[in-house]
Amino acid sequence: MKFNPDIHHRKSLRFKHYDYRQNGLYFITICCKNRQCLLGNIVDDEMNLNNLGEMVRKCWLKIQNYYPQVNLHPFVIMPNHIHGIIEIASNENWGECDSPLHNQSTFNGTSQTIGAMIRGFKAGVTSWARKNTEHYDIWQRNYYEHIIRNEKSYNQIIEYIENNPILWEQDRFYNS
């Protein structure tokens, strides 16, 4: 079907004028396509990763290798999604930013954004999966992100991450 802007439009989940290279803490959720349980299973309130889930863990930890300005905080891999906190600790190499809100060219520095990090992570997992499993499409389009603005929110998110396997059946991403 030929592109038709009246029906082929996707609404971005991101803040329109927010600079996602900005120092800060970001709570990220990435879901498997159609919420399929591809990454392992919960047994006795603990997540047991399968081979694909283990590769997700390895690729998540490798984010810091490609983005030295990033610190990874607690994360959890669930049967059909991953939650994690990514901290951008320094943007010194990108120039001065007076405020996280900017009107910037879409081509200016996109390789250092949260979106670029997630794209690289998803691509790494997908590449491995296509070579080593029967799964071709791993991820749903896009990801969820929440900008963590204070310590109370940070602590609540860490508690949520830590308790996610225990509360799996009440999770909004639960798919039996």
How far apart are alpha carbons 44 and 166 in whole angstroms?
Answer: 8
Whether residue 126 lies inside any domain: the answer is yes
pLDDT value, residue 23: 86
Asked if 85 and 74 touch (Cβ cutoff 8 Å), the reply is yes
What pTM was computed for the model? 0.79
Whether residue 91 lies inside any domain: the answer is yes
Q: Which tens digits make up the pLDDT trace of 80-128?
A: 999 999 999 975 544 343 434 333 333 333 477 888 999 999 999 999 9
pLDDT value, residue 113: 87
Whether residue 15 lies inside any domain: the answer is no
Whether residue 32 lies inside any domain: the answer is yes
Task: Using alpha carbons, select from 27, 16, 21, 29 the residue that is nearest to residue 146.
Answer: 27
Domain span holding position 158 = 24-166
pLDDT value, residue 1: 60
Whether residue 62 lies inside any domain: the answer is yes
Whether residue 172 lies inside any domain: the answer is no
What mean pLDDT do residues 145-165 have? 96
Say what angle helices 51-66 and 114-132 make with each other, to 10 degrees. Answer: 140
Q: Which tens digits make up the pLDDT trace of 132-144?
A: 999 999 999 989 9
Whether residue 65 lies inside any domain: the answer is yes
CATH number for position 53: 3.30.70.1290
Domain total in the chain = 1
111 versus 5: the higher-pLDDT residue is: 111
Whether residue 4 lies inside any domain: the answer is no
